[in-house]
Amino acid sequence: MTVELICVGTELLLGNIVNTNAAWLAEQCAALGLSCYYQTVVGDNADRLAGILETG
């Protein structure tokens, strides 16, 4: 099974903080036998987040 991590936060998008949650989640997915094909970061904008969810 493949997964995509979707991380939400303008601070992530702008690089104000390091996305350590995505790294941890990717490790956990691998441990469960899941292939993480994509990691997407979207800012704090409901319309953009909805667009990402509709695309998947």
Tell me the percentage of the chain whose pLDDT exceeds 70.
98
State residue 46's pLDDT score.
96
State residue 3's pLDDT score.
96
Q: What is the pLDDT of residues 5-31, one digit of tens each?
A: 999 999 999 999 999 999 999 999 999
**Residues facing 4 on adjacent strands:** 38
Q: Which of 37, 6, 35, 9 is nearest to 22 (CA)?
A: 6
In contact, 40 and 7? CB cutoff 8 Å = yes
